Amino acid sequence: MPRYEFRCRTCGDTFEVSRPMARSSDPASCPAGHDDTVKLLSAVAVGGAAGSGSAPSGGGAGSGGGCCGGGCCG
């Protein structure tokens, strides 16, 4: 089940709530009982081969990969 991170505007605590995706936007009370909370955005990194342990290389000049591989670096 996905976990969603919230921050309490009253006390400033950050906490997580596990709930189904269908209820992802439902309000949540903080553990101290305050109702004025906001759901935080979470950045999730997805990509690459599992267990590869390294970032993909950009290749040589003209390969079109990344900034320097694409020729935009001076």
- Token pair for 1: 């089940």
The residues pairing with 6 across neighbouring beta strands, listed in sequence order, are 15, 39
Query: E-strand spans in 1-74?
Result: 3-8, 14-18, 37-39
| Higher pLDDT among residues 51 and 28, named by residue | 28
Q: pTM of the entire structure?
A: 0.56
Nearest to 29, CA basis, from 7, 51, 62: 7
Mean pLDDT score of the chain, rounded to an integer?
A: 80
The tens digit of pLDDT for each residue in 31-62 reads: 999 999 999 997 776 776 666 555 555 555 55
- Token pair for 14: 């950050």
Q: Say which range, 26-30, 47-51, 69-73, has the weakest mean pLDDT.
A: 69-73
Reply yes or no on whether the pLDDT at 16 is more than 90: yes
HSE-CB of 24 using CA atoms within 13 angstroms = 9
